[in-house]
Chains A and B, each alone.
Chain A
Amino acid sequence: MCGVCGCGEGHSHSHDHEHSHDHHDHDHHHQHNAEHAHAPGLSQKRMVQIEQDILAKNNRYAAENRRYFGERGMLVLNLVSSPGSGKTTLLTETIIRLKGELDIAVIEGDQQTARDAERIRATGVAALQINTGKGCHLDAHRVGHALETLQPKNHSVLFIENVGNLVCPSAFDLGEAHKVVILSVTEGEDKPIKYPDMFHAADLMILNKTDLLPHLDFDSEQCIQYAKQVNPRIKILSLSAKTGEGMDSWLRWLKAELELQRIDYA
């Protein structure tokens, strides 16, 4: 998988993380500078044109992942939200409804613990937990290595449950077909304009926990208007993963998207 980084196959995730940060290189550069210190007054300063996207490295891994998914006709969804929006419950309820019909695998991203992966595995589906430690998002490199372990099947659905965070994951492409942003009605209808980057980057917004609406002052119309203000192309589904209300539309969306991935383009 890692033709891009050259760090070899089958490495553990903790190793990958160290590798991707290249901290072991620092000393080398430092010593190098000291050895080649120039005589005072003889400045060797020069300008170097770079013109490189700050996220170019992540984007290269993401392109590699996207190629891998494309070759296998997989549907890959990057699920993003703030903590506590009900991502994992939505996932387990989705898996329970689809697992006899579709091949499904899950990558779980959290700063700590394997609790979410355990919840997914309890449904009988393969799940791999990535702990990002201090990191606030999954990156394409770690996802690439997770694929080596997970070995998802052709024409399968891969859910990547990102770290609960409405900021950083918006900038890090993982190679997914779509970012799906989940917003629960307990959060306040102005989230789309408070965290516009994520809603701008997502193709689908799921308004979750609609069973709680009678107990809240949440203004769904206003929330949808804010989301469309930030992203005129965003599609919106309202559902309750707990009661199952609205789940049918989500499952139909999912199957339609998978069908699109299965088309073998020339």
Chain B
Amino acid sequence: MTNPLGADLHLPEGCMAGIAMHEMSLCESILQVLEQQAEVQQYNTVKTVWLEIGALAGVEIEALRFSFDIVVQGSLADHAHLEIIEVPGQAWCMPCSRNVVVQHLYDLCPHCGSHQLQVNSGDQMRIKELEVE
């Protein structure tokens, strides 16, 4: 499958035509929020979008950027700049009784090697703020 980014993009199973559908549908959700907020917050165009994406959210950042540019074409956020704040993954280790940093959902506790981990941060996908006109 051709990779439109030319980068190390992991295409998920069920993904089509070389574009990560998952990130595409997330971008459609982002655009819906921007359009809905335009009425509430009284703006006409979006210049910058700040997103907070957790390391455990299952989002491929480069695919998200690629999809965003496509999805917002012709919308109130056309050519908007995307700023991504990456949040590290964190989980509560039951045996250690403390928070540990994890990169993946399948990671073991770096201290005791247990898999009894409860993710408590780093799985979020949030729109933080916007620069608008």
Contacts and interface: CB of A to CB of B under 8 A. Distances in A.
B41 interface: yes
A38 B117 CA distance: 53
A27 B33 CA distance: 17
Most buried by A among B30, B41, B106, B129: B106
Contacts of B13: 82-83, 165-167, 195
A54 B33 contact: yes
B25 A137 contact: yes
**A interface secondary structure, majority:** mixed
**B interface secondary structure, majority:** mixed
B38 interface: yes
B35 to A, nearest CB: 6
Most buried by A among B28, B76, B105: B105
B25 to A, nearest CB: 6
A163 B36 CA distance: 28
Contacts, number: 148
Interface string B98-127: 000000111010000001110100001111
B105 A230 contact: yes
B58 A167 contact: yes
Interface residues of B, number: 47
A252 B101 CA distance: 38
Contact of A45 (B26, B74, B131): B131
Contact of B130 (A50, A137, A196, A199): A50
A45 B48 CA distance: 10
Contacts of B28: 21
B32 A49 contact: no
Given A21-B28, A29-B35, A197 B126 contact: no
Interface string A220-249: 000000101111100000000000000000
B47 interface: yes
B116 A136 contact: no
**Lowest 8 A-B CB distances belong to which pairs?**
A165-B14, A167-B12, A196-B105, A136-B21, A197-B58, A29-B76, A193-B106, A54-B125
7 contacts: A50-B37, A53-B126, A82-B14, A135-B21, A197-B105, A230-B106, A232-B116
Given A22-B32, A53-B127, A136-B14, 13 more contacts: A21-B32, A29-B76, A45-B47, A48-B131, A49-B129, A52-B126, A54-B127, A55-B125, A165-B15, A196-B104, A229-B115, A231-B105, A232-B115
